[in-house]
C-alpha cells in the first residue's frame, strides 16, 4: 500500500511541475464555466420573463436548468477528449526515460505500479472537479440548489472520469509513444460513446435485433451517466463504471507484467 | 553472493546468452568485458529481475531471481546503461523516491538519502533539478540511486560511459570504495577500467564466457607458448644461434628496437626462463635481463573476441 502512495505522490509532483496539469485544469474550468454561465444566464432570463406568472413559476427549477446541464450537452464529449491527455504520459514516459528499468527492478509488483499511477491521475481529476465546485458555490449564493442532486451529479462525473482514466491508462501500457496513447484512448472512448447511438438507429435495430442493440447500448459509457444528473444513484450504473475500471486496470497490469516476460 | 548456472536467454530466434555460469564472492568486484551485444546487459538484466532467463538459474544472496524476485530486488542496486532518472525532480526528492520504492521507510529514509548524497559527492547539487545537471553529475545520481537502500550487491552497466577523464576518475574511485563492502558486477568495454577496478574479469563474447579469472592471470591458460624477452649487454657477440639450440625453443626473433634483444618463443611447460639462466651461468653469457612476457588483457580480449567472430563469419 505504501508503495502505491509513493508512486502516486511522484506522479502528482510530476503533473504539477509541468505546465500540462495546469493547462488541463484551466481548459476544464473554462469549458465547465462556460456551460455554467450559459445555463445560468438562460435560467435568469426565464425567471425575469416568466417569474411573475404563477403557472410558469412552478416550472422554473434551478436543479433542472442549471445544476443538471452543468455536465450535460457537449461537456461529456469534451471530458472524453481532455482526460486521455492526463493518462497518455503515465506509462510511455517511463519507457522513454528508461525509468521503467528502475521501477521494474524495485521490490514492488506491477499491480502496485499500475494502481499508483492510476491513483495519481485520479487525484488530478479530483482537483479538476474540486475546482468546478466553485460554480456550485456561486449558485448557492444566489439560489438554493438541491445538494443531493449536486452530490449525485458529481459522483456521476467522477465515475465517468475515473472510467476514462482507467481506459486511458490501460491503452498507454501498450505503447511507448504518448501521441499514440492519446489517439488510441480517444478512439476507443469514442467508440464506447457511440454505442449508445447504435440502439437509436432504426435500421440497425432491425438487423441486429432488440437484444443485441440493448446489449450494445448498455456498454456505452454515456448511457449510464444520465441518471446521475437527475439525482439518481443506481447501483447498476455504479457497477458498470466500476467493472470497466477494474477490467482496464487488470489489463494494464497484465501488459506491464508482460514486459518482464518478453 | 552471486551464483549463476548455465544461464540462457533467447529473444525469438536470436540467442543472447548461450549458457553462462559464474560465481561472485562477497566483497568482490567482477568485471564483464566484451564487445557490444555480447550479452553483458542481458546478464545484468536477468540478475536484477528485469527479465527472466529462458533457462538456467541465478541466485543472489541465496535467493533465486525467478522464484523470489522481491528478496533479490531488495538486495540489489542497479545502474542501467542509461541512468533511470526522473529529470523533472530534484536530486534529493528523486533519491527519496527511489529509497521509498526500494523499501526504506521512516527514520532511515533521511539518513539513507543523506549518506548516498555524501558518498557520491552530490551534496551541493541536492536541491537542483536533475535535468539541469551535467552528464557527469547525472551519472553520479545514477550511482547514488543504486546505493541509496544500502544493497549488498551492485550491478553497474557501463558506469563510466560518456564521461570526461576527470569524471571517470571520480566514478572509479567511488566504485573502488565499495571493495570488500559490497559485491559489485560492472560491465565495460574499456580495458584499462577492468585492470584498474576489478578483482576478477569475465570476458564475454557471443553470449558465452570466453575466459574468467583473476585479473592478472586471465589469459595465461590460453597460451600455447611461453614467451621470454632476453636482453644481452651491448657489444655482446650474436647469441641468436645459441638461444635457438636450447631445448623446446620454437623460434628466436631479434627485437626491432635493439640488436641485443631477442624474443624467444618456447613450448608450453619447457620453463624456458630457468633454462636460459642455467645456460648463462654455465657459459658466462653477458646477460642483462630476462623477462617472461605475459599477454596483456588487451591481447587476450582481442584474441578471444576476434577468433570467435572469425569462425562465425
Q: Residues A165-180: pLDDT tens digits?
A: 999 999 999 988 999 9
- pLDDT, position A204: 66
Domain that holds residue A187: 2-261
* A56-112 pLDDT tens trace: 777 777 887 888 888 877 888 889 999 999 999 899 988 888 898 999 999 999 999
Region of poorest pLDDT, from A104-113, A129-138, A200-209: A200-209
Higher pLDDT, B304 or A91: A91
| Position B309 confidence tier, pLDDT thresholds 50, 70, 90 | very low
A104–B103 CB contact, under 8 Å? no
Contact of B273 with chain A, judged by CB distance below 8 Å, is answered with: no
Q: How far is CA A43 from CA A135, A148, B78, B145, in A?
A: 15, 20, 63, 59
Q: Do A262 and B97 touch (CB under 8 A)?
A: no
| A93: closest chain B residue by CA | B86
Tell me which chain A residues have a C-beta less than 8 angstroms from the C-beta of B105. Answer: 2
Gap from B273 CA to chain A (nearest CA, Å): 52
pLDDT in tens, A217-236: 778 888 888 888 888 888 98
Confidence band for B117, pLDDT divided at 50, 70 and 90: very high
C-alpha span between B155 and B172 (Å, rounded): 14
Residue B249: predicted pLDDT? 81
**B209, three cell numbers:** 564466457
What part of A 164-223 touches B (C-beta under 8 Å)?
A: none
Contact A98 B86 (CB under 8 A): no
Rounded to an integer, the average pLDDT of B245-270 is 78
Query: Predicted confidence band at B193 (pLDDT cuts at 50, 70, 90)?
Result: confident
Residue-averaged pLDDT of chain A: 87
Q: To the nearest whole percent, how much of chain A has pLDDT over 70?
A: 95
Question: Is pLDDT above 60 for B8?
Answer: yes
| Phi and psi based region of residue B6 (left: phi greater than 0; alpha: psi -120 to 50; beta: remaining) | left
Question: What residues of chain A lie within 8 A of the CB of B70, using their CB?
Answer: 107
Q: What is the three-class DSSP state of A99?
A: coil
In terms of pLDDT, which residue wins out, B184 or B308? B184
Residues from chain B that touch A107, judged by Cβ atoms under 8 A, are 69-71, 73-74, 101-103
Which residues numbered 125-164 in A keep a CB inside 8 Å of some CB on B? none
Query: A98 and chain B: CB distance < 8 Å anywhere?
Result: yes
Number of structural domains (chain A) is 1
Q: Do A108 and B101 touch (CB under 8 A)?
A: yes
Is the pLDDT at B236 greater than 80? The verdict is no
**Alpha carbon of B75: minimum distance to chain A alpha carbons (Å):** 9
> Above 80 in pLDDT, residue B294?
no
The nearest CA of chain B is from the CA of A120 a distance in Å of 15
Question: Residue B264: helix, strand or coil by DSSP?
Answer: strand
Of A2, A98, A107, nearest to B74 by CB-CB distance is A107
Distance from the Cα of A28 to chain B's closest Cα (Å) equals 24
Q: What is the reported pLDDT for A127?
A: 94
User: Residue A98 and residue B82: Cβ atoms within 8 Å?
Assistant: yes
Residues of A with Cβ-Cβ distance to B130 under 8 angstroms:
none
Mean pLDDT of B71-93: 92
Mean pLDDT of B196-215: 81
Q: Is the separation of the CB atoms in A15 and A123 below 8 Å?
A: no
Nearest to B80 among A6, A98, A261 (CB): A98
Please report the pLDDT score of residue B119 as a whole number. 86
State yes or no: pLDDT of B306 exceeds 70. Answer: no
- To the nearest whole Å, the CA of A102 is away from the closest chain B CA by 6
Q: Which residues of A touch B83 (CB under 8 A)?
A: 98
Query: CB of B50 within 8 Å of any CB in chain A?
Result: yes
Query: Domains plus CATH for chain B?
Result: 2-220 (3.40.50.300), 224-294 (3.30.70.980)
The per-residue pLDDT for A115 is 95
Share of chain A above pLDDT 90, in %: 44
Contact (CB<8Å) A97/B93: no
- Contact (CB<8Å) B101/A262: no
C-beta neighbour count of A177 within 10 angstroms: 15
Q: How confident is the model at residue B220 (pLDDT cuts 50, 70, 90)?
A: low
What pLDDT score was predicted for residue B85?
Answer: 94
Confidence of residue A182 (pLDDT cuts 50, 70, 90): very high
> For residue A68, what pLDDT is reported?
82
- pLDDT for B21 beyond 80: yes
Is B60 at the interface with chain A, CB within 8 A?
no
**pLDDT category, A205, cuts 50, 70, 90?**
low
Of A23-32, B90-99, B125-134, B201-210, the poorest mean pLDDT is in: B201-210
pLDDT for res A258 = 86
| pLDDT at residue A195 tops 90 | no
CA distances B182 to A60, A82, A223, B88, B174, Å, are 76, 49, 60, 30, 12
Decide if pLDDT at B129 tops 70: yes
Task: With beta carbons under 8 A apart, name residues in chain A contacting B50.
Answer: 101, 104-105, 260
pLDDT at B311: 39
CA-CA distance, A105 to B83, in Å (whole number)? Answer: 13
Report residue B150 as a C-alpha cell: 544500502
d(CA B281, CA B189): 45
Residue B63 near residue B19, CB atoms below 8 Å: no
Neighbours of A36 (CB within 10 A): 23
With 60 as the cut, is the pLDDT of residue B162 above it? yes
Q: pLDDT band at residue B312, thresholds of 50, 70 and 90?
A: very low
| Percentage with pLDDT > 70 across chain B | 92
Confidence at B313, pLDDT banded by 50, 70, 90 = very low
Q: How far is B65 from chain A (nearest CA, A)?
A: 11
Amino acid at each position: 500500500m505504501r508503495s502505491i502512495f509513493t508512486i502516486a505522490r511522484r506522479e502528482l509532483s510530476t503533473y504539477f511541475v509541468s505546465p500540462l496539469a495546469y493547462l488541463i485544469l484551466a481548459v476544464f474550468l473554462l469549458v465547465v464555466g462556460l456551460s455554467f454561465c450559459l445555463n445560468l444566464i438562460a435560467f435568469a432570463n426565464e425567471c425575469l420573463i416568466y417569474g411573475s406568472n404563477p403557472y410558469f413559476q412552478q416550472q422554473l427549477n434551478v436543479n433542472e436548468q442549471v445544476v443538471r446541464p452543468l455536465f450535460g450537452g457537449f461537456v461529456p464529449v469534451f471530458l472524453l477528449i481532455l482526460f486521455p491527455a492526463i493518462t497518455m504520459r503515465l506509462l510511455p514516459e517511463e519507457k522513454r526515460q528508461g525509468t521503467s528499468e528502475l521501477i521494474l527492478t524495485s521490490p514492488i509488483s506491477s499491480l502496485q505500479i499500475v494502481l499508483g499511477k492510476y491513483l495519481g491521475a485520479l487525484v488530478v481529476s479530483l482537483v479538476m472537479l474540486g475546482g468546478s465546485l466553485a460554480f456550485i458555490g456561486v449558485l448557492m449564493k444566489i439560489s438554493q440548489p438541491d445538494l443531493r442532486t449536486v452530490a449525485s451529479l458529481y459522483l456521476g462525473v467522477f465515475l465517468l472520469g475515473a472510467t476514462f482514466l482507467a481506459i486511458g491508462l490501460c491503452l498507454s501500457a501498450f505503447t511507448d509513444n504518448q501521441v499514440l496513447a492519446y489517439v488510441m484512448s480517444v478512439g476507443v472512448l469514442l467508440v464506447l460513446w457511440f454505442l449508445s447511438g447504435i440502439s437509436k438507429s432504426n435500421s440497425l435495430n432491425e438487423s441486429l435485433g432488440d437484444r443485441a442493440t440493448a446489449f450494445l447500448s448498455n456498454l456505452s459509457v454515456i448511457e449510464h451517466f444520465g441518471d446521475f444528473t437527475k439525482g439518481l444513484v443506481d447501483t447498476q450504473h455504479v457497477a458498470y463504471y466500476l467493472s470497466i475500471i477494474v477490467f482496464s486496470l487488470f489489463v494494464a497490469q497484465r501488459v506491464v507484467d508482460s514486459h518482464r516476460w518478453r | 553472493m552471486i551464483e549463476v548456472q548455465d544461464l540462457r536467454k533467447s529473444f525469438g530466434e536470436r540467442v543472447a546468452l548461450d549458457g553462462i555460469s559464474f560465481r561472485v564472492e562477497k566483497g568482490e568486484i567482477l568485471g564483464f568485458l566484451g564487445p557490444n551485444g555480447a550479452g553483458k546487459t542481458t546478464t545484468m538484466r536477468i540478475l536484477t529481475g528485469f527479465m527472466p532467463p529462458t533457462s538456467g538459474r541465478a541466485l543472489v544472496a541465496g535467493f533465486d531471481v525467478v522464484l523470489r524476485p522481491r528478496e533479490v530486488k531488495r538486495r540489489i542496486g542497479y545502474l542501467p546503461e542509461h541512468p533511470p532518472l526522473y529529470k523533472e525532480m530534484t536530486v534529493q526528492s528523486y533519491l527519496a523516491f527511489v529509497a521509498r520504492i526500494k523499501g526504506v521507510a521512516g527514520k532511515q529514509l533521511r539518513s539513507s538519502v543523506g549518506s548516498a548524497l555524501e558518498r557520491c559527492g552530490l551534496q551541493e547539487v541536492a536541491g537542483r533539478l536533475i535535468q539541469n545537471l551535467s552528464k557527469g553529475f547525472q551519472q553520479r545520481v545514477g550511482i547514488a540511486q543504486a546505493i541509496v537502500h544500502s544493497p549488498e550487491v551492485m550491478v553497474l552497466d557501463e558506469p563510466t560511459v560518456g564521461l570526461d577523464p576527470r569524471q571517470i576518475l571520480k566514478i572509479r574511485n567511488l566504485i573502488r570504495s565499495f571493495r570488500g563492502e559490497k559485491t559489485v558486477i560492472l560491465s565495460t568495454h574499456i580495458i584499462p577500467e577492468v585492470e584498474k577496478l576489478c578483482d576478477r574479469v569475465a570476458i564475454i563474447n557471443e553470449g558465452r564466457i570466453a575466459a574468467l579469472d583473476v585479473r592478472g592471470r586471465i589469459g595465461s591458460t590460453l597460451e600455447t607458448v611461453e614467451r621470454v624477452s632476453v636482453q644481452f649487454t651491448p657489444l655482446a657477440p650474436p647469441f641468436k644461434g645459441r638461444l635457438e639450440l636450447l631445448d623446446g625453443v620454437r623460434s628466436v626473433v631479434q627485437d626491432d628496437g635493439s640488436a641485443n634483444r631477442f624474443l624467444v618463443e618456447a613450448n608450453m611447460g619447457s620453463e624456458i626462463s630457468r633454462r636460459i639462466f642455467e645456460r648463462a651461468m654455465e657459459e658466462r653469457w653477458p646477460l642483462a635481463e630476462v623477462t617472461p612476457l605475459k599477454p596483456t588483457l588487451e591481447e587476450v580480449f582481442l584474441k578471444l573476441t576476434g577468433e570467435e567472430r572469425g569462425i562465425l563469419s
